[in-house]
Each structure stands twice: as C-alpha cells, then as structure tokens.
Amino acid sequence: MTLLGIDVSHWQGEVDWFAVARGNVKFAFAKATEGNVAVDPTFKRNWAGIQEAGLFRGAYHFARPGRDAETQAALFASTVGVLGFQDLPPVLDLEEDDGQSKEQVLGWARRFVEKAEKLLGRQLMIYTGAFWRGALGNVNDPFFAARPLWLAGYVPKPVLPASWARSTFWQYTEGKNNGPAQIPGVRPCDQNKFEGTADDLAALCSPTPGPTPQPINLSPTGAAAFPGAMFVWPQTPPASGPAVSRWQQRMLELGFALTADGVYGPESKAACVAFQKDRGMSADGIVGPATWKQCFGT
C-alpha cells in the first residue's frame, strides 16, 4: 500500500489543510527553520493546521553547514517544541554545502543530529539524494545509516545514497515532473510516497503523546515549572514573554548580570552560558529543562 504526502514551506502560502486531507493525503511535512536564525513564517499555522486536519505531521530544518550546528539544532528544537503521538521523525534537510568541504558538511550534520536528538528526544531522519551521492562523495557512514532516509529523486527509479539500503519516505516529485497528483487546497508542491499503512506511519511516531507544557506556576519558594519551550539565541523572532522574564529575574537573584526585559537575546545567552559553566553543565546557552531545573531547583 502506498500513502501520499506533501511537504510545504512559505513558498506555498496559505494552505487549506482540510481540503488537502480530502485529497487523499495522509501525511505532511512543514519547513520549520533554516540556518541559525530563520523561522519559516508559515510554520506555526501549518503545524497546527496539519494536526487539525487529522494528518500525520513532520517538521524539517534546512541545513546551513557554514554556520554553527548546535545553534541551528537548538533553534529547530525550540521552534518545533514537544512532539506528540502523530508526529513523524524530525528531519534534517541536507542539500547544500554552504561552501564547506564534504568532511566539514558531514561533521556538521553529525553535530546537528546529536544535538537535535538530545533536545527533541526523538531520532532524526535525513532528507537527501543527489547531494549525498555527488557533493558528499556518496559516503557509506554507519552513523547516518542508523537513521531513516527521506529520499529526494524525481525519476521513476531513484538511486539510493550509499549509506542506506532503503528509504522511509520518497519525495518523488517537486509538483511538475514524475506524475504529481492533483491535490486541492495547496499550490503545486513537493509530493511524497510512503510504502505502508497508517499503522506503519504511526509506528514511526512517538508511542505515547509527549508531556503537555506546563504554565508558569510560582511556589512560595520562588520555584517555577519549566514552560515547555526552550529559550535560544539567535532566533527570529526572539523568545519572549513572562517565562523569559521569570527566568531573567531568577538569574538576577542568583547574581548573574542581565536585563530582565522579557526577551531572550545575546545578553541573556551570555548570562546563561556563565551560569551553565558555574554549575558544571554543557555551556550551550540554551535554557532547556536541565538548565531550568538547575536555576529553579524544580
């Protein structure tokens, strides 16, 4: 059995996801982020719309190997947030070298995957095709082979990159070549095939729903529950709001210099790094669950 899916970004504009679902589409991927600052302006709407239409959903990050891998992984994880029971593996879209050598790109991709998997708590999937076979020398790398492949190839019988014996998803058309389906509710877009049933798709997702982000809940001792969304800089738009403000106030209480303006910017990141070093943590400047716990003791 073959299931049909699509992937979209801001290039498709506004999507009518209920119409898409009526067009026999069973799953969809949405672009979340690119590089170390860019959030796709349609991601939030698409991410919610895919779920509301009852489709399996996935998110992808467009890699920029010329910029820091861990910062990009943190931006991706922070933008996507907690994954649930119909959420497919998060994806690293690897199709440009950004002027880097193949060794540099592969090292960058490994660092991104390791950081993103740690932050998201899910194994990543790799999107690639001709780029891997050409620019990356068609290497056979067991690190990447252990992760599922989303293959890009707009011909009837695409060639697999050397690291994989099979693909999990196949992006078989960009919306023009290789027989795209007519799908209502969306402009021409990439289309994908999955060999299997809805149960097989579900097996790729989290076995149980992820934890619901908790609201800020101050106790008499000043403790606060982790808000569910990580703070990372750089990010466009920057993380902001009462949770950021509460964290900044706590940092001031602990003796770290910053402005409690409710916006997680470079000054807040520098304070976070200093705090993490002081506590013997990995100093990545990301306020995630571990850093929050160290800060508030919750």
When pLDDT is cut at 50, 70 and 90, the band that residue 47 belongs to is very high
CATH of the domain at 176: 3.20.20.80
Per residue in 109-150, pLDDT tens?
999 999 999 888 899 999 999 999 999 999 999 999 999 999
* 136 shares its domain with 225: no
Q: What is the pLDDT of residue 220?
A: 35
Average pLDDT value for residue range 276-288: 86
* 88 shares its domain with 189: yes
Which domain-ending residue is among 203, 229, 257?
203
- Concatenating the DSSP letter of every residue in 37-68 gives TEE-TTHHHHHHHHHHTT-EEEEEEE--TTS-
Tell me if residue 261 is catalytic: no
Please report where in the chains the tokens 């070549």 appear, as a residue: 177
* 221 shares its domain with 267: yes
* 82 shares its domain with 158: yes
261's CB contacts (< 8 A; 6+ apart) are 245, 248
Q: What is the CA radius of gyration of the chain?
A: 20
Which domain-ending residue is among 203, 230, 249?
203
Per residue in 22-34, pLDDT tens?
999 999 999 999 9
When pLDDT is cut at 50, 70 and 90, the band that residue 213 belongs to is very low
d(CA 147, CA 132): 15
Q: What is the mean pLDDT of the chain?
A: 90
Tell me if residue 68 is catalytic: no
Domain assignment present for residue 30? The answer is: yes
* 86 shares its domain with 112: yes
Number of separate domains in the chain: 2
Per residue in 149-175, pLDDT tens?
999 999 999 999 999 999 999 999 999
Domain assignment present for residue 209? The answer is: no
Q: What is the pLDDT of residue 27?
A: 98
Domain assignment present for residue 208? The answer is: no
d(CA 109, CA 92): 8
Which domain-ending residue is among 169, 203, 237?
203
Q: What count of Cα atoms within 13 Å lies in the side-chain half-sphere of residue 295?
A: 28
Give the residue numbers spanning the domain of 108. 2-203
* 190 shares its domain with 241: no
d(CA 215, CA 43): 23
Q: What is the pLDDT of residue 283?
A: 85
* 162 shares its domain with 287: no
* 147 shares its domain with 259: no
Tell me if residue 195 is catalytic: no
Residue 91's nearest CA partner among 66, 68, 117 is 117
Residue 6's nearest CA partner among 178, 191, 172 is 191
Could you tell me the CA-to-CA distances from 284 to 163, 230, 256, 290 in Å, in that order? Answer: 30, 12, 16, 12
* 51 shares its domain with 159: yes
Tokens matching residue 9: 């970004």
Going by the DSSP 8-state scheme, the letter that residue 288 receives in this structure is: -
Catalytic residue among 34, 40, 93, 284: 93
- Concatenating the DSSP letter of every residue in 126-138 gives EEESHHHHTTTTT
Domain assignment present for residue 132? The answer is: yes
* 144 shares its domain with 224: no
The DSSP bridge partners found for residue 263 are 240
